[in-house]
Structure formats: C-alpha cells, structure tokens
C-alpha cells in the first residue's frame, strides 16, 4: 500500500482556513482542525464534537468545540518563538493519512527546533495524544507552556457560559458548562523524563502547565501529553470520567502503536488502487481518509454533518448529503457504520412527525438541517443580502421536501446492498409509511384531472425556489410511495406478527392502495422529443443563457445567485445537478439515450455552486460511455479538500470546512462509474469504463456480508 502524505511549508495567514481543513484528524467522536499548536480561536483552531449542540441568544444553534489541549507556546531565553518570516528558518506541516498522524517541524532562527506529533486516537475515541520534541543548538533556558485552551472558536457563540480550570497534581482539567446546561470536560496528563521545573497556572480560560528546562547545546527534550474529552451526553460526571480515563491510559508509545494498528485495519478494507494514474489514486484515497475520520464507529445511532467534523459550519447539521452521497462508501467498506447512520433517522422519526404536524401535513417531514431528536436547525433566513446587510428569506426548511425521500432511499440502499432486512423491523418500515403519508398529504389535484402534482417545492437546484413538479422531487416521491407498498407487502408475507403490530400502531393497511394510486397518477416529468426532461414546470420558458453571462451580472462576488432576486433565478442556469441526480439515483428506469440527452443539455447550464454537483455529472458521463469526460469532474470531487480555491467565507461568516459529500461522490464515481459495479439480489458484475491512461482499478468491498476483492479485470461474480 502506497504512502499517503500531505505536506505544506506555508504558515501564511491567508492559508490558515484551508490548511485547517486539509490537515484535519478525527475519529468519529471528534475532529481536530489541522491548525498549528500556537494558534487559537482567531486562527479557527477547534476540537469539534459530534452530536452535541448549543444555542447562544438568538444565534444559530451549532455543535460544540471542546477546550483545546493541543495548545503550545515555546519561549527560549524569555523570547517567544513566533511563526513569522523573521523568526522561522524552516517549517513543514505534514499529514500521514495512512497512520492518522499530524506532524509539524519548525526550526527557528536561533537554532531551536520544535517537532510535534499528534493524533485523535482511532479506537479510544475520547483520547487525544501529542508528543513534543525540542532541540537546541546553543545553551538556552527553554520554557514550554502546554495549555488546555478553553477560549474556543465559535461562529455563533459563546457557547460556554462558565469555564472552570484547575490542576490536581497529576493532570490539568478544564470544564465548560454550556448555555443549554451541558458539560464538556477535558483532562490532560503530561510526561517527560527530562529534568525540569514544572508549575501550573490559570489564565484567560486556559489551564497552563509550564515546563522550564536549562538546556545545553545539542540537548533534546521530549514531553508527551494524553488528553481525554467527555461530555454530559457520555457520562453523568464527565470530569470524573475524563480524569479516570486519562490517568489509566497506556503510555504515548503504546497508544500510538494501537492507533496506527487501527488505521492499518481500516485501510486494509478501504484502500483503492488505480494503476496508471498516481494523482487520481492519491486524491481518491485522501477523500477516503476524510470519510474514515468522521465515521461514527463508536456509536449505534449517529449521523455525519454536511461538513464532517471540521467545525460549526452549517450548524453541524445532518443533510441529505449523508444518505445520497456518503452512504455508498460506508455500505461498501463499513456496513455497520451505514447502519448507524440510518438508525439516526429511525431515532429521529418523531422529530420528523412533529415537523410535518407544524406545517399541517401528515406523516414525517424530515429536517433539512437535522440536529439531535430531528430538530430542524435550518433558519428562515439562511442568506444575507450583501448590499443591505439584511437577512433574506429562504425556503430551504419549508420546501425541500425531497429530504424525506432521501431517508427512504438510504434504507432501500442498505437492505439491497447488505441483504440485511433488520432495519425494516427496527423502524425502517414505519418510516416508509410515514414518508408516504407525508407525500400523499402534500399532493394537489385539479377537480378536472386525475393527475396528482407536487407544487411549491425546491429541488436539488436551490437557485430556483418554490417551483411546481420538480422532476427529481416527483420521481423520488413516487419511489417513496412504491417502497412503502412493497415493504409493507413483504412485511405482511414474511413477518406477519410485526406487520400486525405496526398496523395496529399506525392503522395504515387501507392506505396502501392510496399510495399505489398516487405512484401511478403522480405527474410524470415533461420530456421533449429528444428526451430532455424539464427540470420543473416552466423551466424551458426561462432565459436560456450561459453561466459566464449570468456571472457577469453580479455586482458583488458574494451575491447569492438564487432566491427571489438572484441573478440566476429567471434563467436556466442551475446551482447543481438536479435532473442528472435523478437519472443516476433511479438509473434502472432510464436508458442511455435519455441520460445522454440530459447530460449534454444540463452540464453547460450548471454553475456547480455545490460540491455535490460534479460527481453526479461524472457518474452520468460513465453511464453513457464517456469516462474521459467524467475524469475532470471526478477529480473536482476527489480534490475538494486537497486543493485551495473553495469558498471559505460568506461576508464575515466562515462557511468553509471539509466536503465529505464530495469525497463520497468521488468514491461513488470510482465504484459505479469507472469500475462499473452493479448488482442484483444475488449476483454482481463489473463493466469497467476506464479513463485514458488508467490500466486497472482494484478495491475491496463488503457485499451481502461477504468480503470481496473487485478489479476492473474481473467481470462478474
């Protein structure tokens, strides 16, 4: 297996947000931004926690950043060693993605160097580990201030109303209490064999442990740190647990060894080899690294935010990204994680029911931005007008009803891929009934027509709001109706007791015929003689222009293109793949001629304003036998977090972070597109469509509970 190492020599201020994402480490419980140890909240340093949220005042509710135990300050002869060109002789930051290790090496002008290795333990997910090595070329007084920094970065905070800092002799401790009454405890223990003076102090929400050394020329000092993070969601007394956990942990070398072994085991399952294209292989495996970093392997019911664990962007909420773009990787590599992600949707069904009730609908309307319990964190004003500074009304929360079908589709994929039908019995079948009820209550029908329609929706293309009969939304709703009927019939035939119990609870059996009728009578997408599917009613009547022409109309590059007054709203220019996404997700229903016509039509009209877009076009290009056209779109997805240029700010608000949906889309393109994997209930096949220069793709997957090795040189099984 080839090494996968990412490096940079930059410590330039303008690069800090990008590098924080690119050098991220994580273990599913928490993600540590790849900022350097000198940095604090001004440089967006963060230890981002999964599944715990807080709201401050009228701000957006968002996930918590824990107090940061990776905070260091180095002083030599009383002078602070700073990261500035006048003080740095050489510097390198490195991510060893095969081992999940973050390293930095900096040599200062006075000859002192500092080497720091750190990681979020991949198996012991509450642990953060760090080893610091300081070398001196001259006799010097060296002081290292190692801190747990409780003055954390927040986008819409502060989220800690109280912060207590102390040391008990064996460990430093910081405990924060949130506005909603949760507690987050961080405990750190340090070890060094070097003779030193050690003292403890509290300063500006920091618990500092200072080490002072009298060094001779050529001396090398090593200090290791083990920290643990617990919240009140993990334990009744998180501080006691954190302290006990860190003090009973093995030594740094042993923790490092077990961490690397866990990563090796994961890579044995997840690695992809691409013979003939080292750049593509590196980019794809780097994408896989990020998907492994955020997989909640420690939980039985937890999902993944749209920006992974890279910060508080998008409120740390769960979008349709998880089921539609990330799930395929976990199904193929870590099916237990896929089950965990879907159990989150089962456990938040009551929240989806409540949202439907609030809007006057029946069944379950899943949150567009889901936090714990299915609470919808999506604001009515998600965009700010750059000219007036006023919030703009958006309708993502209200009208993106296709989110419920994404949950249905995720359950369908899980059962079909794994052969494990247990989720239907654990609450999945109940989701199908409630999803069908929701769409049925959303339908409209003219008194003079037998055709059902879905009005006033937003499809995946968010630039056009409140449209009628969006093709993607209609077809995915039809899919939800059919799944509700099919799985109910299966349940009645194979698990009659469970069917009777569910029917007694929901009283739905008589509704199945209504769902069948709705699927049959729901309006079909309008299609031209050449097979082009109209994205929504009236789309073809909009101005037919070019992306660059619309871009030229911007008066400010930060303008939102959609909504009531956006530059794209009255044109055929779309944000991201919409009809094309439908054609891939429901690919069994469309022949290559239809895909080809729509690919050629919609690609030049797509701005790709979302990282979810490129992979759908790449997959469609493979479906019509154009792998060379798919290749740059595949790279755009695979390199989303590897290259600079992504949008990091909206006005003064940070919107950057990692792009796990793009990473998942890159994996999907490799598997379904270039490798051409496909399957029925009891057989699989491979129909490779390799880009120019590629000689072979090979990977391992789990299919129906069995490990398999796939290769583009193997055609069926």
Per-residue pLDDT reduced to its tens digit, 265-287: 999 999 999 999 999 999 999 99
Mean predicted confidence (pLDDT) in 461-472: 97
* Residues 558-594: tens digit of each pLDDT: 899 998 889 999 999 999 999 999 999 999 999 999 9
Confidence check: pLDDT of 666 > 70:
yes
- Confirm if 43 and 50 have CB atoms less than 8 A apart: no
Q: Mean pLDDT throughout 430-452?
A: 96
Q: For the residues 396-422, what does the mean pLDDT come to?
A: 97
For residue range 587-646, list pLDDT tens digits in order. 999 999 999 999 999 999 999 999 999 999 999 999 999 999 999 999 999 999 999 776
**CATH value of 273-711 in 3.40.50.280, 1.10.10.10, 1.50.10.10, 2.40.50.140:** 1.50.10.10
Please compute the mean of the pLDDT values over residues 436-458 and round it to a whole number: 96
CA pair distance 411, 430, nearest whole angstrom: 11
Arithmetic mean of pLDDT, 534-542: 98
Q: What is the mean pLDDT of residues 464-493?
A: 98
Q: Is the pLDDT of residue 159 over 90?
A: yes
Query: What confidence score (pLDDT) does residue 394 get?
Result: 92
Q: Which CATH number describes the domain made up of 5-245?
A: 2.70.98.40
pLDDT of residue 650: 59
d(CA 524, CA 453): 9
Query: Residue 385: what pLDDT?
Result: 87
> Residue 530: pLDDT above 70?
yes
Does an H or E element contain 26, and which? strand 25-26
Residue 219 tokens read as: 């001396």
The 10s digit of each residue's pLDDT in 366-377 is 999 999 999 999
Token pair listed for 211: 């080490």
Question: Average pLDDT in the 447-468 region?
Answer: 96
Mind listing the pLDDT tens digit for each residue in 165-189? 999 888 999 999 999 999 999 999 9
DSSP state of 325: I
Number of Cβ atoms within 10 Å of the Cβ of 223: 23
Q: What is the pLDDT of residue 477?
A: 98
Residue 706: DSSP 8-state: E
The per-residue pLDDT for 647 is 67
Distance CA 124, CA 255 (A): 9
Q: In a 3-state reduction of DSSP, which class is residue 456?
A: coil
Q: Answer whether residue 715 shows pLDDT above 80.
A: no
Mean pLDDT of 22-37: 98
What pLDDT is attached to residue 682? 72
Does 709 or 385 have the greater pLDDT score? 709
- Phi then psi for residue 173, to 5 deg, are -140, 140
In this prediction, residue 384 carries a pLDDT of 84
What letter would DSSP give residue 564?
A: S
pLDDT in tens, 225-267: 999 999 999 999 999 999 999 999 999 999 999 999 999 999 9
pLDDT mean across residues, the chain: 96
Beta strand 206-215 with 140-149 is: antiparallel
As a residue count, the chain comes to 717
Stated pTM of the model: 0.97
Q: Which residues are catalytic?
A: 462
Using the structure block, give the residue that is written with the tokens 């989110």.
403
Would you kindly state where each structural domain of the chain is located, as residue ranges? 5-245, 273-711
Compute the average pLDDT of residues 522-544.
97
**By C-alpha distance, which of 417, 378, 532, 402 is closest to 461?**
402
The answer, yes or no, to whether residue 511 has pLDDT greater than 70, is: yes
Handedness of CA 284, 291, 378, 366 (dihedral sign): positive
Q: Is 83 exposed, middle or buried (0-12, 13-18, 19+ CB in 10 A)?
A: middle
Residue 124 near residue 249 (C-beta atoms within 8 A): yes
* pLDDT value of position 142: 97
Instruction: Return the pLDDT at 653.
Output: 63
Which among 482, 488, 473, 486 is positioned nearest to 518, based on CA atoms?
A: 482
- Give residue 648's pLDDT band: very low, low, confident or very high (50, 70, 90): low
Provide, rounded to the nearest whole percent, the portion of the chain with pLDDT above 70: 98
Which of 51, 311, 47, 54 minimizes the C-alpha distance to 178? Answer: 54
At residue 644, the pLDDT reads 78
Structure token pair of residue 169: 């002799």
325-341 pLDDT, tens digit each: 999 999 999 999 999 99
In the sheet with 272-275, reading across from the earlier edge strand, the strands are 272-275, 696-703, 706-711
Residues 6+ apart with CB under 8 A from 543: 570, 571, 572
Cα–Cα distance between 322 and 294 in angstroms, integer?
Answer: 12
Tokens 């793709």 found at: 697
Do 598 and 564 contact (CB within 8 A), yes or no? no
Residues 503, 504, 510: CA angle, nearest 5 degrees: 45
Q: Which residue has the tokens 């990091």?
A: 648
């Amino acid at each position: 297996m080839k090494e996968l190492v990412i490096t940079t020599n930059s410590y330039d201020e303008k690069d800090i947000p990008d590098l924080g994402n690119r050098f991220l480490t994580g273990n599913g419980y928490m993600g540590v931004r790849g900022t350097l140890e000198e940095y604090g909240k001004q440089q967006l340093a963060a230890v981002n926690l999964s599944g715990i949220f807080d709201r401050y005042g009228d701000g957006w509710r968002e996930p918590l950043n824990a107090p940061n135990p990776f905070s260091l300050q180095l002083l030599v002869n009383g002078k602070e060693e700073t990261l500035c060109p006048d003080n740095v002789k050489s510097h390198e930051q490195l991510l060893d993605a095969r081992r999940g290790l973050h390293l930095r090496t900096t040599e200062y002008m006075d000859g002192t160097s500092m080497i720091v290795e750190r990681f979020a333990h991949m198996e012991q997910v509450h642990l953060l580990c760090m080893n610091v090595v300081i070398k001196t070329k001259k006799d010097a007084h060296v002081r290292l201030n190692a801190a747990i920094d409780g003055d954390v970065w927040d986008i819409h905070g502060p989220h800690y109303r109280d912060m207590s800092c102390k040391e008990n002799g064996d460990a430093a401790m910081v405990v924060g209490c949130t506005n909603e009454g949760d507690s987050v405890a961080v405990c750190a223990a340090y070890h060094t064999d070097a003779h030193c003076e050690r003292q403890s102090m509290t300063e500006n929400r920091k618990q500092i442990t200072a080490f002072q050394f009298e060094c001779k020329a050529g001396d090398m000092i090593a200090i290791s740190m083990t920290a643990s993070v617990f919240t009140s969601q993990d334990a009744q007394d998180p501080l006691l647990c954190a302290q006990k956990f860190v003090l009973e942990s093995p030594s740094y070398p042993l923790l490092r060894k077990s961490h690397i072994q866990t990563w090796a085991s994961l890579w044995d399952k997840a690695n992809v080899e691409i013979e003939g294209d080292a750049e593509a292989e590196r980019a794809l495996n780097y994408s896989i690294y990020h998907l492994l970093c955020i997989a909640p392997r420690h939980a039985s019911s937890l999902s993944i935010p749209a920006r992974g664990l890279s910060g508080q962007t998008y409120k740390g909420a769960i979008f349709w990204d998880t089921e539609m773009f990330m799930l395929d990787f976990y199904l193929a590599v870590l099916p237990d994680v896929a089950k965990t992600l879907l159990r989150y949707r089962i456990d938040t069904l009551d929240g989806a029911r409540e949202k439907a009730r609030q809007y006057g609908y029946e069944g379950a309307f899943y949150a567009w931005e889901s936090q714990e319990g299915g609470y919808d964190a999506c604001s009515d004003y998600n965009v700010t007008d750059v000219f007036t500074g006023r919030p703009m009304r958006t309708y993502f929360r209200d009208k993106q009803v296709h989110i419920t079908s994404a949950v249905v589709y995720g359950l369908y994929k899980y059962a079909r891929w794994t052969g494990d039908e247990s989720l239907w019995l654990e609450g999945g079948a109940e989701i199908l009934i409630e999803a069908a009820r929701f769409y049925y209550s959303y339908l409209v029908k003219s008194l003079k027509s037998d055709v059902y329609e879905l009005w006033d929706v937003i499809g995946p293309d968010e630039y056009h709001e409140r449209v009628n009969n969006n093709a993607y939304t209609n077809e995915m709703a039809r899919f939800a109706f059919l799944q509700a009927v099919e799985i109910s019939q299966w349940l009645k035939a194979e698990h009659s007791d469970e069917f009777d119990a569910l029917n007694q609870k929901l009283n739905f059996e008589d509704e199945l015929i209504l769902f069948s009728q709705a699927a049959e009578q729901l309006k079909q997408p309008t299609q031209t003689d050449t097979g082009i599917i109209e994205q929504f009613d009236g789309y073809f009547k909009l101005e037919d222009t070019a992306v660059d022409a619309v871009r030229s109309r911007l008066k400010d590059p930060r303008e939102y293109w959609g909504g009531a007054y956006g530059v794209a709203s009255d044109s055929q220019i779309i944000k991201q793949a919409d009809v094309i996404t439908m054609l891939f997700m429901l690919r069994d229903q469309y022949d290559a001629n239809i895909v080809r016509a729509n690919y050629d039509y919609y690609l030049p009209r797509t701005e790709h304003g979302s990282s979810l877009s490129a992979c759908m076009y790449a997959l469609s290009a493979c479906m019509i036998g154009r792998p060379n056209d798919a290749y740059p779109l595949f790279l755009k997805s695979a390199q989303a977090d590897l290259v600079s240029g992504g949008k990091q700010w909206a006005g003064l608000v940070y919107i950057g972070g990692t792009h796990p949906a793009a990473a998942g889309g890159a994996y999907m393109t490799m598997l379904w597109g270039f490798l051409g994997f496909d399957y029925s209930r009891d057989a699989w096949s491979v129909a490779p469509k390799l880009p120019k220069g590629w000689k072979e793709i090979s990977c391992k997957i789990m299919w129906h509970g069995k490990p398999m090795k796939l290769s583009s040189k193997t055609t069926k099984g």
